[in-house]
Amino acid sequence: MAEKKRLPWDPPPGPSTYHKKTSREQPGAPYHTWRWTKLSRAIRTEHPLCAECQRRGIIRPATCVDHITPWPICGEQGFFDRSNLQALCDDCNNQKGLRDKAKIQAWKRAHPGWDGNAGARTPQPATPGRRQKLTRLKR
């Protein structure tokens, strides 16, 4: 395989930090799919600089791809919608994460039936099928 030409803003060679797990990943979000891997890679190639910093006139390399409307509010369609994506640096990503948190919490309160929280500790009215699964997992 031919080596990809390295651009000045590309991360240094070595173990990639590209897929590093951030605390911003919401339960149930389809991050661990080939579709997302491919899309986020494309966004970062097209937008190598942090969008928020650029708006403030600062040139900074982007390190992650952010959902402007966060998961789960954006839904699966919005999750894979390019117009809902922007490349951000770590700082801007963390700051936006704090802003999104309240939004997501309010959204979840308004959508109590949403069960992307299957792995979370908050007890939810479980379907008989899921309860069986949980019991089996506990053993």
Sites of contact with Zn ion (CB under 5 A): 50, 52-53, 60, 89, 92
Distance of closest approach, residue 10 Cβ to Zn ion, in angstroms: 17
Residue closer to Zn ion, measured from CB, 28 or 61: 61
Distance of closest approach, residue 66 Cβ to Zn ion, in angstroms: 10
Give Cβ neighbours of residue 74 (< 8 Å, ≥ 6 apart): 67, 81, 84
Residue closer to Zn ion, measured from CB, 60 or 67: 60
Residue closer to Zn ion, measured from CB, 29 or 62: 62
Residue closer to Zn ion, measured from CB, 53 or 68: 53
24: nearest Cα among 82, 63, 81 = 63
Distance of closest approach, residue 23 Cβ to Zn ion, in angstroms: 17
Distance of closest approach, residue 45 Cβ to Zn ion, in angstroms: 18
What whole-number distance in Å separates Cα of residue 15 and Cα of residue 69? 30
Distances (CA, A) of 43 to 1, 93, 94: 22, 15, 19
Q: Bridge partners of 67? A: 85
- DSSP secondary structure string, 75-113? HHHHHT-GGGEEEE-HHHHHHHHHHHHHHHHHHHHH-TT
